[in-house]
């Protein structure tokens, strides 16, 4: 068997190669169509930031519940959540590149006086400062939780678990409003006239779905390659699968709640969003979005044996991750790029870039601490987890 | 039909679990186990087949969803078409919430009542506990003595290893024990 550090370095090297090649391709694509390249950057930066944030949320939720089942593979979400800092910076950079796009009322038409609040809310300095604030808060709290968890490896003190429970509660309380506002700031304002009060919940559902899928892929690959062999059991996989199934249904529920109210009331300022996205070539993509994010995970993950099979789970996770990308694509591209959907060098190289960066960062972070939180008081319970 | 069974009583759940695994490894027939609360891993230790209740739940849910979608279509577009807010006669989005609720309702009721039916449970049924302490603080394993492979001395020595506290032979009617 190859030593662990070698596995990490081989993996990191491959991911870095992928990232470098993709970055070059993306630069070439940006020369041809800068708007399209920027939209892709926004999608991947938001994608990676929310997956990292979702991992922090998973940590916080399980700490607050006093859950033990996830302790055996907790280093996986921890290593994902560490990515919040680099990807958050990347997102800030992407937002700063094109902040003008988010300005309310950019063409000085109509009557700005009646919407003074929206005008002030989306003024660039305040808007950028808020973005930095949200990311800063998430970063500080998630890093505290991860830091205490790693410190426990050395000190072995059960008090650190209790301390983390308190920080996690704090994180959850802060996370809910900031995340809802952040999603509105970064994606809803692309269409400044349009609004949806369920936007934050919608993104919460999609984020958790994507995070769980990433966790499945990484935990299964770590189990196959050694570090989590005999630790990440089928029972753990089963429980993550149940969560994925549940959150897929939740995503569909929220997606439909947003769509149906707008369809029913049929008010012009609300329907504009869906008119653009359900007609012409966007229509089939809208259907594909539902198929990838709900139909496939729902029907495939319903039977118990499927949730316990790593090959099925890995495939479903990959489908959901593509679905999440399509979901974001449908939010961003009709607003920024144009009337017809495009898929080419820019989209593929952006996807390669984010996969490469994410993978390289993950393996680097995972390698930094023991693969299992070996002093956690709940570890024994987690290793004998049955479901 | 009557059946001769051996009742082995344990004080702790892990004794029951370990003895069940060991007995099955040696091909003894375990009729059933009785515990005060659900014991994790016991279904696997007894070698029970996967529950078929999930299929009942799925089929009931599908009947609820598709049946209600069809009913709404029939009501809204065929039998008594009413113009609601200028929407088309057959408007799928407005039909989905009720179809969803019906799916949940039928799936829930379907699985609960299917379970009751399989277990022959109904309101006012007189409980006839075969082993009263299995509803309180003890764990009981039922072994089939009529099985040709049953070797009393081997079984006894094996059960003693797992701290069996009580052994009893009984003749029970097959109908009295029913697998859910």
pLDDT tens digits, B7-41: 888 888 888 888 888 888 888 888 888 888 888 88
Q: What's the whole-number mean pLDDT along residues A152-169?
A: 89
Chosen for mutation from A263, A308, A384 (greatest number of chain B CBs closer than 10 Å) is A263
Contact A307, A313 (CB under 8 A): yes
Are A264 and B58 an interchain contact pair (Cβ–Cβ within 8 Å)?
no
> What tokens does B100 get?
């969803």
Q: Please choose, from the candidates A122, A139, A133, the residue with its C-alpha nearest in 3D space to the C-alpha of residue A186.
A: A122
Q: Does A263 touch chain B (CB under 8 A)?
A: yes
User: Taking CA atoms, what residue in B is nearest to A386?
Assistant: B40
Does A259 contact chain B (CB < 8 Å)?
Answer: yes
Taking an 8 Å cut-off on Cβ atoms, the answer to whether B93 and A302 are in contact is no
Q: Would you place residue A130 in the very low, low, confident or very high pLDDT band (cuts 50, 70, 90)? A: very high
A189 against A251, higher pLDDT: A251
Residue B156 has pLDDT above 60, yes or no: yes
Q: Is the pLDDT of residue A219 over 70?
A: yes
Query: Which residue, among B93, B97, B99, B111, would best test binding to A if mutated, counting the most A CBs under 10 Å from its CB?
Result: B93
- pLDDT cut 70: percent of chain A above it: 95
* Contact across the interface for B41 and A386, Cβ inside 8 Å: yes
Measured between beta carbons, the chain A residues lying within 8 angstroms of B93 are 256, 259-260, 263-264
Q: How far is CA A170 from CA A76, A180, A207, in A?
A: 22, 16, 20
Q: Rounded to whole angstroms, what are the CA distances from B159 to B10, B48, B149, B163?
A: 9, 21, 16, 7
If you ran DSSP here, which 8-state letter would residue B7 be given? E
Assign residue A100 a region: left if phi > 0, alpha if psi is -120 to 50, beta otherwise?
Answer: alpha
Nearest residue of A to residue B52, measured between CA atoms: A303
Spatial distance between the Cα atoms of A49 and A139, rounded to a whole number of angstroms: 11
The Cα–Cα gap between A200 and A176 comes to 9
Residues in chain B within 8 Å Cβ distance of A305: 50
Cα A360 from Cα A364, distance rounded (Å): 6
* Mean pLDDT calculated for residue range A369-377: 86
pLDDT band at B179 (very low <50, low <70, confident <90, very high): very low
Q: CB–CB of B40 and A386 under 8 A?
A: yes
CB contact under 8 A, B85 and A260: no
Judge: A260–B50 Cβ closer than 8 Å, yes or no.
no
Inform me whether the C-beta atom of residue A107 falls under 8 Å from chain B C-beta atoms. Answer: no
Structural contact between residues A130 and A102, judged by C-beta atoms closer than 8 angstroms? no
pLDDT of the residue at A94: 92
Nearest CB to A304 within list B40, B50, B93 = B50
B97 part of contact set with chain A, CB < 8 Å: yes
What integer pLDDT is reported at residue A338 of this predicted model? 78
Task: Give the lowest-confidence range in A2-16, A180-194, A348-362.
Answer: A2-16
- pLDDT interval class at A242 (50, 70, 90): very high
User: Is A260–B41 a contact, with Cβ atoms under 8 angstroms apart?
Assistant: no
Contact B19, B141 (CB under 8 A): yes
Mutation target vs A (from B40, B45, B56, B61; most A CBs, 10 A cutoff): B40
User: For residue B55, which of B104, B102, B107, B101 has the smallest C-alpha distance?
Assistant: B107
pLDDT surpassing 50 at residue A13: yes
A63: phi > 0 → left, psi -120 to 50 → alpha, else beta; which? alpha
**Residue ranges of domains in chain A:** 4-103+141-379
Report CA-CA distances (Å) from A136 to A97, A271, B64.
19, 35, 48
Compute the distance between CA of residue A281 and CA of residue A339 in angstroms, rounded to an integer: 9
pLDDT at B180: 38
Query: For residues A289 and A240, is the Cβ–Cβ distance under 8 A?
Result: no
For residue B41, the chain A residues in CB contact (below 8 A) are 386
What is the rounded CA–CA span in Å between residue A384 and residue B75? 54
The tokens describing B116, both together, are 């009751």
Looking at residue B49, what is its pLDDT? Answer: 86
Please state, in angstroms and rounded to a whole number, the distance separating the CA atoms of residues A303 and A129: 47
Residue with tokens 């329907």: A271
Between A181 and B171, name the one with better pLDDT: A181
Q: Within the 295-324 window of chain A, which residues sit less than 8 Å (CB to CB) from chain B? A: 302-305
Q: How far apart are CA A121 and CA A196, in angstroms?
A: 16
- Range ranked top by mean pLDDT from A99-113, A245-259, A327-341: A245-259
| Strand-pair partners of B2 | B173
Report in angstroms the alpha-carbon separations of A25 from A45, A176, B45, B105.
17, 37, 56, 53
What would the two tokens of residue A304 be? 């118990």
> d(Cα A162, Cα A172) in Å, to the nearest integer?
15
List, in order of start, the domains of chain B with CATH numbers.
2-50+130-176 (3.30.70.260), 53-119 (no CATH)
* Structure tokens given for A228: 């989590």
| 8 Å CB contact of A386 and B96 | no
Residue range A283-305: mean pLDDT, rounded: 94
Chain B hits for A386, Cβ within 8 Å: 40-41
For A254, name the nearest residue in chain B, comparing CA atoms only: B97
**If you write DSSP's letter for every residue of A286-329 in order, what string do you get?**
HHHHHIIIIIHHHHHHSSHHHHH-HHHHHHHHHHHHHHHHHHHH
Percent of chain A whose pLDDT exceeds 90? 55
User: A357 pLDDT band (50/70/90 cuts)?
Assistant: very high
Interchain CB contact of A267 with B (< 8 Å): no
B3 has a pLDDT exceeding 80: no
Looking at the predicted structure, is the pLDDT value of residue A197 above 50? yes
ipTM over 0.95: no
CA distance B91 to A204: 29
Residue A95: how many CB atoms within 10 A of its CB?
Answer: 23
pLDDT digits (tens, 9 = 90+) for B99-142: 999 999 999 999 999 999 988 888 888 877 777 888 888 888 88
Mean pLDDT of chain A: 89
């Amino acid at each position: 068997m190859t030593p662990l550090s070698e596995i990490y370095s081989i993996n990191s090297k491959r991911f870095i190669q992928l990232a470098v090649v993709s970055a070059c391709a993306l630069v070439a694509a940006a020369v041809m169509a800068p708007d399209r390249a920027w939209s892709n950057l926004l999608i991947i930066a938001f994608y990676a930031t929310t997956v990292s944030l979702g991992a922090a949320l998973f940590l916080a939720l399980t700490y607050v519940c006093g859950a033990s089942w996830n302790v055996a593979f907790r280093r996986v979400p921890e290593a994902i959540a560490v990515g919040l800092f680099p990807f958050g910076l990347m997102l800030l950079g992407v937002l700063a590149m094109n902040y003008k796009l988010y300005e309310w009322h950019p063409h000085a038409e109509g009557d700005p006086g009646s919407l003074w609040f929206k005008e002030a809310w989306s003024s660039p300095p305040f808007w950028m400062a808020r973005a930095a604030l949200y990311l800063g808060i998430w970063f500080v709290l998630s890093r505290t939780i991860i830091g205490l968890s790693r410190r426990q490896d050395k000190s072995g003190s059960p008090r650190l678990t209790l301390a983390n429970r308190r920080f996690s509660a704090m994180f959850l309380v802060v996370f809910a409003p900031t995340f809802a506002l952040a999603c509105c700031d970064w994606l809803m304002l692309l269409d400044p006239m349009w609004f949806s009060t369920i936007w934050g919940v919608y993104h919460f559902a999609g984020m958790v779905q994507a995070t769980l899928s990433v966790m499945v892929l990484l935990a299964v690959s770590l189990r196959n390659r050694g570090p989590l062999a005999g630790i990440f059991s089928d029972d753990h996989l089963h429980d993550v699968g149940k969560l994925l199934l549940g959150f897929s249904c939740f995503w569909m529920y929220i997606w439909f709640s947003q769509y149906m109210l707008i369809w029913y009331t049929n008010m012009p300022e609300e329907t504009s969003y869906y008119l653009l996205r359900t007609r012409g070539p966007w229509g089939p993509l809208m259907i594909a979005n539902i198929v990838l994010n709900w139909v496939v995970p729902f029907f495939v993950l319903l039977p118990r044996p499927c949730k316990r099979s790593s090959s099925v789970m890995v495939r479903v996770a990959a489908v959901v991750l593509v679905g999440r990308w399509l979901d974001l694509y449908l939010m961003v591209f009709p607003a920024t790029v144009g009337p017809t959907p495009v898929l080419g060098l820019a989209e593929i190289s952006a996807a390669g870039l984010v996969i490469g960066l994410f993978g390289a960062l993950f393996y680097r972070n995972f390698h930094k601490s023991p693969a299992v939180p070996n002093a956690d008081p709940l570890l024994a319970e987690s290793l004998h987890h049955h479901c | 039909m009557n059946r001769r069974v051996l009742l082995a009583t344990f004080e702790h759940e892990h004794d029951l679990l370990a003895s069940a695994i060991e007995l099955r490894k040696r091909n003894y027939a375990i009729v059933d186990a009785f515990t005060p609360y659900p014991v994790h891993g016991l279904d696997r230790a007894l070698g029970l087949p996967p529950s078929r209740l999930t299929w009942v739940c799925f089929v009931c849910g599908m009947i609820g969803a598709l049946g209600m979608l069809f009913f709404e279509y029939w009501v809204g577009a065929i039998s008594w078409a009413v113009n609601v807010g200028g929407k088309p006669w057959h408007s799928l989005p407005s039909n989905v919430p009720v179809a969803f609720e019906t799916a949940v309702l039928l799936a829930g009721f379907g699985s609960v009542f299917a379970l009751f039916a399989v277990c022959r449970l109904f309101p006012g049924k007189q409980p006839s506990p075969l082993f009263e302490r299995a509803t309180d603080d003890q764990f009981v394993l039922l072994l089939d003595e009529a099985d040709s492979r049953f070797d009393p001395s081997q079984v006894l020595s094996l059960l003693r290893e797992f701290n069996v506290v009580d052994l009893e032979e009984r003749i029970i009617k097959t109908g009295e024990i029913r697998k859910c």
